[in-house]
């Protein structure tokens, strides 16, 4: 067998693992594709070092693969720290699966750590900019402005991912003012309930009563909350377009950097700035680990300067 072609045993193990990720862990098609890409590169790397079966792989192979990701020594593209970290996480997960599945008796990737990444604050916009954005989305007459305003209000009110928001069905919305909330279907098929504020509830009520029926008239009775002009479920791409158009109308500068995740980041940042506990925000965002949420608690240079100016006796 030539070294250019992955070993049959390793390839078979990879297909089994990818099936496990898709079926048993319920990972999305895009996530599984990323694992396939990263682990496919790892398989070729291992075969190039003479490894034919999982039991042949040693810790040095994993460490050298990480080096190859960062230097391109395997003849492939050099990856950024974040992309290399993602690949190493995929490799570590595959090695753990080998042990759990009885393929190997030892986890040779256990001690290998992803490269350190610079901590960056997620991009957020101010409360005033959020208001301008939502107001811009609702400009005009007819059902579409009602839908667009409700869409952005829900995104900001719940911190939901765009896929979770366009995936909402009418039965997922509790419109009772005393307990207004939406039931979101998150990553891995996990559901969570997130409250709706009064502004989002008002916009959603206006859309469901006066806007959605007009859009639904041209469709086939889909239960989706947010509909397109043909009465079908609004797509992620169309929701992005709604946001970009609103950002341009609101004069938010470089609209290419305004995304549905901008509202998710703003939701978390504004809650924490207002005194919310990080674990509460974790639950609202649907993060599996609080460490993912804690990035929002990083102090910005502007905040440091402001505290210094107002607190140090000789700052002024």
What is the Cα–Cα distance from 228 to 238, expressed in whole angstroms? Answer: 8
- pLDDT for residue 307: 64
Q: Is 270 a catalytic residue?
A: no
Q: Is 287 a catalytic residue?
A: yes
Furthest C-alpha separation in the chain: 74
- pLDDT for residue 80: 85
Confidence of residue 289 (pLDDT cuts 50, 70, 90): confident
Out of 207-211, 231-235, 294-298, least confident range: 294-298
What is the Cα–Cα distance from 85 to 212, expressed in whole angstroms? Answer: 44
What is the Cα–Cα distance from 47 to 39, expressed in whole angstroms? Answer: 12
Provide the domain count of the chain: 2
Please compute the mean of the pLDDT values over residues 116-128 and round it to a whole number.
73
Cα four-point dihedral sign 45, 48, 51, 57: negative
> Are 16 and 64 part of one and the same domain?
yes
The answer, yes or no, to whether residue 243 has pLDDT greater than 70, is yes
> Are 141 and 268 part of one and the same domain?
yes
- pLDDT for residue 117: 62
Expressed in angstroms, the distance from the first to the final Cα of the chain is: 73
The answer, yes or no, to whether residue 4 has pLDDT greater than 50, is no
Count how many Cα atoms sit within 13 Å of the Cα of residue 148 in the half-sphere of its side chain.
23
Helix ranges (H only) for 101-221 are 127-137, 143-158, 162-166, 198-206, 212-216
- Strand, coil or helix: what is 77? coil
Out of 8-12, 14-18, 55-59, 97-101, least confident range: 8-12
Task: List the catalytic residue out of 161, 212, 265, 270.
Answer: 161
Q: Is 261 a catalytic residue?
A: yes
Quick check: 135 and 246 in contact, CB under 8 A?
no
Q: Is 187 a catalytic residue?
A: yes
Task: List the catalytic residue out of 35, 42, 207, 296.
Answer: 296
The answer, yes or no, to whether residue 43 has pLDDT greater than 50, is yes
Out of 186-200, 262-276, 295-309, least confident range: 295-309
Q: Token digits for 114?
A: 């992803």
> Are 228 and 290 part of one and the same domain?
yes
- pLDDT for residue 188: 78
> Are 69 and 142 part of one and the same domain?
no
- pLDDT for residue 298: 65
**Does 231 fall in a domain?**
yes
- pLDDT for residue 3: 41
Candidates 104, 41, 27, 40; CA nearest to 76 is 41
**Does 311 fall in a domain?**
no
The CATH number covering residue 142 comes to 1.10.443.10
The b-or-e profile of 207-236 (16+ CB within 10 A means b, else e) is bbeebbebbbeeeeeeebbbbbeebebbee
- pLDDT for residue 112: 87
Q: What is the dihedral of CA 58, 60, 62, 68, to 10 degrees?
A: -140
The CATH number covering residue 26 comes to 1.10.150.130
Quick check: 204 and 150 in contact, CB under 8 A?
yes
- pLDDT for residue 6: 46
For residue 175, the Cα-to-chain-centroid distance in whole angstroms is 27
> Are 39 and 176 part of one and the same domain?
no
Task: List the catalytic residue out of 86, 147, 264, 270.
Answer: 264
The answer, yes or no, to whether residue 300 has pLDDT greater than 70, is no
Q: Token digits for 172?
A: 């997922």
Task: List the catalytic residue out of 49, 175, 187, 244.
Answer: 187
Q: Is 161 a catalytic residue?
A: yes
Residue that is written with structure tokens 């107002």 in the block: 310
**Does 65 fall in a domain?**
yes
- Strand, coil or helix: what is 78? coil
What is the Cα–Cα distance from 193 to 171, expressed in whole angstroms? Answer: 13
* Mean pLDDT over the full length of the chain: 88
Where in the sequence is the domain holding 218, given as residue range(s)?
A: 127-301
**Does 150 fall in a domain?**
yes
User: Which CA distances in Å does 38 have to 108, 134, 237, 240?
Assistant: 18, 39, 26, 28
291 vs 23, more confident: 23
- pLDDT for residue 2: 42
Burial class (CB in 10 A: 0-12, 13-18, 19+), 11: middle
The answer, yes or no, to whether residue 7 has pLDDT greater than 80, is no
> Are 80 and 131 part of one and the same domain?
no
> Are 274 and 138 part of one and the same domain?
yes
Q: Which residues is 174 bridged to in the sheet? A: 181
pLDDT single digits (tens) 47-76 = 999 998 999 999 999 999 999 998 999 999
User: Which CA distances in Å does 247 have to 134, 180, 225?
Assistant: 9, 27, 23
- pLDDT for residue 5: 46
């Amino acid at each position: 067998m030539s070294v250019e072609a992955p070993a049959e045993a390793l390839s078979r193990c990879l297909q089994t693992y990818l099936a496990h990720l898709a079926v048993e862990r319920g990972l999305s098609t895009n996530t599984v594709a990323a694992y396939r890409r990263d682990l496919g590169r790892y398989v070729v790397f291992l075969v190039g070092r003479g490894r034919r079966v999982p039991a042949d792989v040693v810790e040095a192979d994993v460490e050298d693969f990480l080096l190859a990701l960062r230097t391109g020594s395997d003849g492939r593209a050099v990856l950024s720290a974040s992309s290399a970290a993602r690949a190493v996480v995929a490799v570590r997960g595959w090695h753990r699966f080998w042990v759990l599945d009885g393929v190997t008796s030892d986890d040779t990737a256990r001690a290998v750590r992803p490269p350190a990444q610079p901590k960056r604050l997620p991009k957020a916009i101010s409360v005033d900019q959020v208001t301008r954005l939502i107001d811009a989305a609702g400009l005009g007459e007819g059902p579409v402005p009602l839908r667009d305003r409700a869409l952005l209000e829900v995104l900001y009110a719940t911190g939901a991912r765009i896929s979770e928001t366009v995936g909402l069905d009418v039965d997922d919305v509790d419109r009772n003012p005393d307990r207004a909330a939406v039931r979101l279907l998150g990553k891995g098929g996990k559901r969570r309930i997130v409250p709706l504020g009064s502004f989002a509830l008002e916009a959603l009520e206006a859309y469901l009563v006066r806007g959605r029926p007009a859009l639904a008239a041209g469709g086939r009775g889909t239960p989706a909350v947010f509909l397109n002009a043909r009465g079908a479920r609004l797509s992620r791409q169309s929701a992005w377009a709604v946001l970009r158009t609103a950002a341009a109308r609101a004069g938010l500068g470089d609209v290419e950097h305004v995304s549905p995740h901008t509202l998710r980041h703003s939701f978390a940042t504004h809650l924490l700035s207002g005194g919310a506990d990080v674990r509460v925000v974790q639950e609202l965002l649907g993060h599996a680990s609080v460490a993912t949420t804690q990035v929002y608690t990083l102090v910005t240079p502007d905040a440091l300067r402001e505290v210094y100016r107002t607190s140090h006796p000789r700052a002024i």
